[in-house]
């Protein structure tokens, strides 16, 4: 029993580590960078060169009295129609966090009229890139190690983490 406990503990720690690796690779983007979510930014230009990956986050920072953050579909994005939004990400503080947890194109608009002057952004979310294959040997191999560790461990760990926690509870 003691041996099994130890093994479960080690496996649990290992899975935690792999989650932390994943955590570290996710990026939180402030929408509009320094200017935030405001009518002065061209968000097409802002988003154009950023590679958004599943697991990243958007952070909308804005004047809560002037703007809000609504997720809409493509049609309503083009029309600036805020009436049939898919999700209202507005929390009220002017500081809203959106997890990009689905591989798709997200469409956000400001629902308070500024959409018509360009306050809208389409975010194309991609799957994370595969780890570099057959990377030439380098002395500083840490980034390669962490990315391949992540891809090999992450998916199985997603499914086993619940089982491990069950085991923890059962054993203790
Ligand atoms: C978006 O939603 C509207 C209803 O609000 C619907 O008429 C339209 O077809 C939808 N567009 C897409 C691309 O799903
Ligand atoms: C979105 O949610 C916020 C906070 O609950 C609320 O104050 C606001 O009225 C909502 N906006 C819309 C368009 O429903
Ligand atoms: C993505 O995140 C949103 C908000 O937290 C949640 O409602 C939704 O279920 C999540 N989707 C997936 C596929 O995890
Ligand atoms: C944003 O910039 C792009 C590329 O320069 C331009 O085509 C587009 O019209 C601009 N959008 C707004 C709302 O000014």
Ligand 2: list residues with CB < 6 Å.
Answer: 68, 88, 90-92, 111
Distance between Cα 74 and ligand 1 center (Å): 7
Rounded CA-CA distance 46/83 in Å is: 26
Domain boundaries in the chain? 28-126
Q: For domain 28-126, give its CATH number from 2.60.260.20, 2.60.40.420, 1.20.1250.20, 2.60.40.10.
A: 2.60.40.420
93 vs 2, which has greater pLDDT? Answer: 93
Nearest Cα residue to 135 out of 126, 127, 143: 143
DSSP per residue, 114-129 = GGGGT-EEEEEEEPPP
Q: Given this model, what pLDDT does residue 2 score?
A: 66
Tens of pLDDT, residue by residue over 119-163, are 999 999 999 877 766 555 544 434 443 443 444 344 444 444 444
Two tokens at 157? 């760990």
Distance between Cα 148 and ligand 2 center (Å): 42
Question: Is residue 166 predicted with pLDDT exceeding 90?
Answer: no
Closest residue to atom 4 of ligand 2, CA basis: 91
Which segments of 83-141 does DSSP mark as H helices, in order? none
With tokens 């389409």, the residue in question is 122
Q: Given this model, what pLDDT does residue 15 score?
A: 61
């Amino acid at each position: 029993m003691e041996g099994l406990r130890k093994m479960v503990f080690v496996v649990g720690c290992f899975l935690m580590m792999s989650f932390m690796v994943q955590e570290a690779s996710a990026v939180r983007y402030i929408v509009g960078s320094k200017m935030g979510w405001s009518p002065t930014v061209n968000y097409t230009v802002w988003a154009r060169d950023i590679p958004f990956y599943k697991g990243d986050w958007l952070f909308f920072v804005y004047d809560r009295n002037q703007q809000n953050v609504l997720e809409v579909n493509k049609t309503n994005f083009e029309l600036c129609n805020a009436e049939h939004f898919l999700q209202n990400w507005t929390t009220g503080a002017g500081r809203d966090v959106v997890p990009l947890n689905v591989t798709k194109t997200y469409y956000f608009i400001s629902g308070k009229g500024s959409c018509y002057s360009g306050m809208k952004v389409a975010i194309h979310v991609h799957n994370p890139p595969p780890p570099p294959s057959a990377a030439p040997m380098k002395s500083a191999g840490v980034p390669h190690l962490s990315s391949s560790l992540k891809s090999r461990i992450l998916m199985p760990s997603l499914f086993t983490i619940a089982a491990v926690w069950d085991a923890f509870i059962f054993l203790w």
